[in-house]
């Protein structure tokens, strides 16, 4: 069965993919449908959802719907970019550990364990606070705290592949270690890493929303977490200020998780047989 | 003898991790723009020269880096974490007086998750592919995808504002009732919503993990043997399948300890729970970095202790671990 056939057989994954495409459309269309700054006052404050504001307005008369559209850009951007960085760090650490083995492996794994032990969200908060809040510092913080599982996975894949014939052949023919790691072994270890990465995007979006809920978002870009955090003082009177952005986070994260599981089932058929007989 | 070895090894590991965290703290302060004194004084710019001079002297900023690091490590080891820029109180005291509330919250949430999560997972596995299984699987997917702070706000809207059942914030009533029992009940009532909020995310994780592990174990030969010798089904499920299926869950719970403390920051912020998470949030608002660093250190200590407990649990659940060395 081809990859797409088995992916499409999974109803949850298909729904997830559709929702994800919709969120992507929100992000892309935001500047055209709402060609103004989402921080601008657009009318009376604290209007409930209705004619003027489809999803209501906040305490400064800002349009919640516009915020949701523009916020999708921040969530998706941070989710994807910080995952890319985390995967890069994790793959390098794990690959070096698994490929070279011995003392290098020991050192790299103790380092990984250390980062796995420390309270990751607290470290992320500290990093963003100290580096001053912004897209870059949030991406750095999230990738610094999320790479360890990737490193462990990459290490185990590299350990399994390290002594296969094609790797030994490359070593014998004098190919450099860096070339072997990235051009020979890595392509064969990529599938499980891609599956893990797809699920990490969801975690990254959740982490970003929690950071900006705490007031550590990029002060120039509206984000879903920020909208909920800023409306906390009035959330009893104006439920729409926290319900809609929260719904956006929830639906996006759920969709990504469903797609990730679909990928897992489609790319790892033998694992599926094991977990759901 | 074996237990002594275990304790010794654990102490060495804990000491190394804590030392590494202290060094990390030192590096973090240096990452920030400006020197240590201005960082610790916060971003307000209103730092008084007296505080700056005192901090610079304390850290010996004119000396080489290794010497500064040594001073810092020495200070931390003697539990001198410096003073808060805002309150002028030693941050160690501020953290210690808030720690019990956080331990109560995270402990309650963790227990809740560790009891309810696996129970739901077992139920789902026993009823695999039937209604109960689908309901549990969907619920787990949903709570796994919801931001903790949002769940908290929805709970407050529903259980406190609409139904008026439970208090929406704080740890005690404004006028605490008299009597020990009444006071304990008062705290318990305040604890319900934050603990549920924090715990549900982990209930979702444990339920999914348990279901998967149960189904995987159920196919193994020794389970077939147990059935073949005529054991009642509930014995097979509890004594044979569950006991083995619990191992990955306990391991995972240990790994998640740090995550739990992070969730506590968010939950405590939503529910104004007077723990170190709320303290961290206040420190954040005031850019009180010294206090923030102390919270980080304290939560790291909590995580290391927590890992110790899960290691012990793992040994109780599976005597094979540690028996044969490694």
Return the structure tokens found at A209: 């929303």
Q: Residue B176 and residue B255: Cα distance in Å, rounded? A: 37
Predicted local distance difference test score (pLDDT) of residue B1:
66
Residues present in chain B in total:
326
Predicted local distance difference test score (pLDDT) of residue B14:
83
| Radius of gyration of chain B measured on its C-alpha atoms | 24
HEC secondary structure over A146-202: HCHHHHHHHHHHHHHHCCCHHHHHHHHCCCCHHHHHHHHHHHHHHHHHHHHHHHHHH
pLDDT, one tens digit for every residue, chain B (326 residues): 677 887 888 888 888 888 888 888 888 877 766 666 776 666 555 567 777 777 777 766 677 777 778 877 888 887 778 777 777 788 888 889 998 999 899 989 988 998 899 889 888 888 878 888 888 988 988 999 999 999 999 999 898 888 888 888 888 877 777 788 888 888 888 999 999 999 999 999 999 888 888 888 887 888 888 888 888 888 888 777 887 878 878 777 777 777 888 888 899 999 989 988 888 888 888 777 788 888 888 888 888 888 888 778 777 777 776 554 43
**Range in A100-104, A251-255, B271-275, B286-290 with the lowest mean pLDDT:** B286-290
Nearest-CA distance from B179 to chain A in Å? 33
Closest residue in A to B161 (Cα) is: A236
Chain A CB contacts of B263 under 8 Å are 121
Q: Residue B123 and residue B145: Cα distance in Å, rounded? A: 22
Q: How do residues A165-206 score in pLDDT, each as one tens digit? A: 898 899 899 888 889 998 888 988 888 899 899 999 999 999
Predicted local distance difference test score (pLDDT) of residue A251:
95
Answer yes or no: are the C-beta atoms of A247 and A170 closer than 8 Å. no
Predicted local distance difference test score (pLDDT) of residue B326:
38
Q: How do residues A39-75 score in pLDDT, each as one tens digit? A: 777 777 777 887 777 777 777 778 888 888 999 999 9
Q: Residue A135 and residue A67: Cα distance in Å, rounded? A: 17
Q: How do residues A203-221 score in pLDDT, each as one tens digit? A: 999 999 999 999 898 888 8
Pairwise CB contact (< 8 Å): A228 & B153: yes
Angle, helix B65-77 to helix B49-59, in steps of 10 degrees: 100
Pairwise CB contact (< 8 Å): A254 & B142: yes
Predicted local distance difference test score (pLDDT) of residue A273:
43
Question: Which among A119, A209, A275 is the nearest to B303, CB-wise?
Answer: A119
pLDDT at residue A277 tops 70: no
**Range in A96-100, A144-148, A266-270, B291-295 with the lowest mean pLDDT:** A266-270
Confidence of residue A113 (pLDDT cuts 50, 70, 90): confident
Closest CA to A119 of B282, B89, B102: B102
The DSSP-derived string for B151-204 is HHHHHIIIIIIIS--S--S-SS-SSPPSSHHHHHHHHHHHHHHHHHHHHHHHHH
Predicted local distance difference test score (pLDDT) of residue B43:
56
Closest CA to A119 of B276, B2, B30: B276
Q: What's the whole-model pTM score?
A: 0.88
* Cβ atoms within 10 Å, residue B271: 30
Q: Residue B205 and residue B303: Cα distance in Å, rounded? A: 19
Residues with Cβ within 8 Å of residue A143, at least 6 apart in sequence: A82, A83, A85, A86, A89
Predicted local distance difference test score (pLDDT) of residue B44:
54
Closest CA to B259 of A194, A106, A123: A123
Residue in this structure with the two tokens 């809040």, named with its chain if needed: A133
Q: What are phi and psi of B319, to 5 degrees?
A: -60, -15
* Cβ atoms within 10 Å, residue B129: 10
Pairwise CB contact (< 8 Å): A250 & B147: yes
Question: Which among A118, A130, A214 is the nearest to B31, CB-wise?
Answer: A130
Answer yes or no: are the C-beta atoms of B146 and A250 closer than 8 Å. yes
Question: Which among A121, A215, A246 is the nearest to B262, CB-wise?
Answer: A121
User: How would you class B219 by CB atoms within 10 Å of its CB: exposed for 0-12, middle for 13-18, buried for 19 or more?
Assistant: exposed
Predicted local distance difference test score (pLDDT) of residue B162:
83
Mapped onto helix, strand or coil, the DSSP state of residue B247 is: helix
Nearest-CA distance from A19 to chain B in Å? 14
Residues with Cβ within 8 Å of residue A130, at least 6 apart in sequence: B28, B29, B31, B32, B39, B289
Residues present in chain A in total:
277
The DSSP-derived string for A205-273 is HHHHHHHHHTT-S-TTS--HHHHHHHTGGGTTT-THHHHHHHHHHHHHHHHHHHHHHHHHHHH-HHHHH
Distances (CA, A) of A34 to A24, A27, A68, A91, A241: 15, 11, 10, 39, 18
Predicted local distance difference test score (pLDDT) of residue A17:
93
Q: Is B91 on the interface with A (CB under 8 A)?
A: no
Predicted local distance difference test score (pLDDT) of residue B268:
92
Q: Residue A61 and residue A46: Cα distance in Å, rounded? A: 6
In the stretch 178-207 of chain B, residues with CB closer than 8 A to chain A read none
Pairwise CB contact (< 8 Å): A116 & B255: yes
Q: How do residues B220-255 score in pLDDT, each as one tens digit? A: 888 888 888 888 888 888 777 887 878 878 777 777
What is the pLDDT of chain A when averaged over all its residues? 87
Return the structure tokens found at A78: 């941070």
Question: Which among A114, A213, A257 is the nearest to B266, CB-wise?
Answer: A213
| pLDDT average, residue stretch A234-248 | 87
């Amino acid at each position: 069965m081809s990859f797409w056939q088995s992916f499409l057989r999974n109803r949850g994954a298909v729904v997830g993919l559709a929702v994800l495409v919709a969120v992507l459309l929100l992000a892309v269309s935001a500047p055209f449908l709402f060609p103004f700054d989402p921080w601008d006052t657009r009318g009376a404050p604290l209007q409930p959802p209705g004619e003027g504001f489809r999803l209501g307005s906040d305490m400064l008369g800002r349009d919640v719907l516009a915020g949701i559209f523009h916020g999708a850009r921040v969530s998706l951007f941070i989710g994807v970019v910080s995952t890319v960085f985390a995967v890069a760090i994790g793959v390098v650490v794990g690959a070096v550990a698994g490929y070279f083995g011995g003392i290098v492996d020991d050192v790299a794994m103790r380092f990984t364990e250390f980062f796995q032990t420390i309270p990751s969200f607290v470290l992320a908060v500290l990093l963003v606070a100290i580096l001053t809040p912004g897209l870059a510092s949030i991406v750095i913080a999230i990738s610094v705290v999320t790479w360890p599982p990737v490193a462990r996975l990459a290490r185990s894949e590299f350990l399994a592949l390290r002594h296969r014939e094609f790797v030994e052949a490359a070593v014998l023919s004098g190919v450099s270690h860096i070339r072997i790691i990235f051009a020979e072994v890595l392509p064969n270890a990529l599938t499980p890493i891609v599956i893990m990465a797809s699920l990490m995007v969801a975690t990254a979006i959740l982490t970003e929303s929690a950071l900006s809920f705490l007031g550590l978002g990029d002060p120039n870009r509206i984000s879903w977490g920020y909208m909920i955090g800023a409306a906390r003082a009035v959330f009893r009177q104006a439920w729409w200020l926290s319900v809609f952005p929260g719904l956006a986070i929830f639906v996006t994260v759920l969709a990504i998780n469903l797609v990730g599981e679909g990928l897992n089932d489609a790319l790892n058929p033998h694992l599926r047989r094991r977990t759901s007989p | 003898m074996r237990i002594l070895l275990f304790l010794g090894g654990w102490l060495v590991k804990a000491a190394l991790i804590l030392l590494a965290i202290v060094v990390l703290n030192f590096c973090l302060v240096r990452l920030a723009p400006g020197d240590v004194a201005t960082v610790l004084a916060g971003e307000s710019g209103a730092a008084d020269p007296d505080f700056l001079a005192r901090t610079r002297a304390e850290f010996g900023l004119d000396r080489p880096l290794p010497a500064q690091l040594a001073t810092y490590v020495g200070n931390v080891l003697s539990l001198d974490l410096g003073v808060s820029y805002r309150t002028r109180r030693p941050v160690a005291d501020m953290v210690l007086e808030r720690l019990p509330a956080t331990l109560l919250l995270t402990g309650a949430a963790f227990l809740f998750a560790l009891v309810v999560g696996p129970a739901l997972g077992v139920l789902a596995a026993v009823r695999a592919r039937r209604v109960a299984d689908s309901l549990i699987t969907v619920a787990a997917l949903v709570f796994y995808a919801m931001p903790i702070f949002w769940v908290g706000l929805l709970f407050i809207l529903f259980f406190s504002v609409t139904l008026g059942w439970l208090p929406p914030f704080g740890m005690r009533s404004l006028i605490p009732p008299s009597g020990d029992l009444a006071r304990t009940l008062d705290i318990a009532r305040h604890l319900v919503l934050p603990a549920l909020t924090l715990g549900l995310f982990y209930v979702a994780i444990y339920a999914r993990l348990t279901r998967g592990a149960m189904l995987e174990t159920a196919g193994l030969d020794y389970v077939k043997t147990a059935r073949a010798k005529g054991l009642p089904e509930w014995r097979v499920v509890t004594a044979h399948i569950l006991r083995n299926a619990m191992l990955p869950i306990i391991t995972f719970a240990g790994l998640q300890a740090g995550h739990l403390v992070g969730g506590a920051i968010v939950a405590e912020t939503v529910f104004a729970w007077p723990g170190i998470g709320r303290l961290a949030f206040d420190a954040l608002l005031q850019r009180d970095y010294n206090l923030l660093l102390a919270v980080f250190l304290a939560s790291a200590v909590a995580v290391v202790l927590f890992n110790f407990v899960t290691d012990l649990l793992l040994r109780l659940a599976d005597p094979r671990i540690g028996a044969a060395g490694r």
